[in-house]
Amino acid sequence: MLHFKVYFAHSGHLCENCIHAVRITHASGTRHFCRALFAADPVEIGQPVLACNKFHHACAPSLGDMQEIAWEIEAKDGKPVGFKPPDRNKKP
């Protein structure tokens, strides 16, 4: 079962900045469509969206991009420092 939540706004449109949005502008206005709904074709969004659990800002870097530019920091003794991936074998 697919869970998808959308809350509608009274002003503005979250879809304006979303990577999943398809925007069509014509003489009478702009129509917004969403590709994140996993439908065969993009679904038209008729009302301005306030919050969406599939929102991804179009200007935000991907995780791969952030990992590519991240610095690897080592202590003087050669041991790695900083954030570590979670230990999957450790019991909570």
Confidence of residue 12 (pLDDT cuts 50, 70, 90): low
- Residue 89's pLDDT band (cuts 50, 70, 90): low
Alpha-carbon torsion angle 18, 19, 25, 28, nearest 10 = -30
Q: Is the pLDDT of residue 58 over 80?
A: yes
Q: What proportion of the chain, given as a percentage, has pLDDT over 70? A: 67
Domain boundaries, the chain: 6-69
Top-confidence residue, 38 or 54: 54
